[in-house]
Amino acid sequence: MGRPSCRGRSVSRAGAGNVDRADFLRGPAREGAACLCPWGRGHSGGMHEDSIGIGELAARTGLSHKALRLYGDRGLLPPAHVDPRTGFRRYRPEQVERARRIALLRAAGMPLALIAGVLAPGGAESVRLLDAYWRGERSVHEARREAVGYAREVLAGRNPRMYEMAERDVPEQKVLFIRRHVTAGGLPDFLGEATGAIFAHLRTSGACLSGPLFAVYHGIVSDDSDGPVEVCVPTADTVGPVGEIGVRIEPAHREAYTELGKKQRDFATMVGVHDAVLSWIREQGYEPTGGSREVYYPNWETAEEGEHVADVAGTLTTRGGKA
Model pLDDT, residue 23: 34
Which of 193, 173, 167 shows the shortest CA–CA distance to 182? 193
In a domain, 130, yes or no: no
Do both 184 and 304 map to the same domain? yes
- Return phi, psi of residue 38, to 5°: -65, -15
For residue 87, the domain's CATH number is: 1.10.1660.10
Residue 102: domain span:
21-109
- Answer yes or no: do 170 and 285 share one domain: yes
Task: Tally the domains of the chain.
Answer: 2
pLDDT of residue 120: 94
80 and 208 belong to one structural domain: no
Per-residue pLDDT of the chain (323 residues; tens, 9 = 90+): 544 444 333 333 333 333 332 332 233 333 333 333 333 333 344 445 689 999 999 999 989 999 999 999 999 999 999 999 998 999 999 999 999 999 999 988 899 999 999 999 999 999 999 999 998 888 778 777 877 888 888 888 887 778 899 999 999 999 999 999 999 889 999 999 999 999 999 999 999 999 999 999 998 888 889 989 999 999 999 999 999 999 999 999 999 999 988 777 677 778 888 888 998 998 888 887 888 999 999 987 787 777 899 999 999 986 555 55
| Cα 120 to chain centroid, rounded | 23
pTM of the predicted protein model: 0.61
User: What's residue 321's pLDDT?
Assistant: 54
* Residue 8 covered by a domain: no
94: exposed, middle or buried (Cβ count in 10 Å: 0-12, 13-18, 19+): exposed
Per-residue pLDDT at 16? 35
Whether 86 is in a domain gets the answer yes
Whether residue 137 lies inside any domain: the answer is no
Residue 152 domain flag: no
Asked if the structure places residue 95 within a domain, the reply is yes
Residue 172 and residue 59 share a domain = no
Phi, psi of 259 (to 5 degrees): -90, 145
State residue 265's pLDDT score.
Answer: 67
Contacts of 31 (CB under 8 A, 6+ apart): none
The predicted structure's pLDDT at residue 206 = 95
Domain edge (last residue) among 109, 124, 142: 109
Do residues 232 and 260 lie in contact, with contact meaning Cβ atoms separated by under 8 Å?
Answer: no
Residue 205 in domain: yes
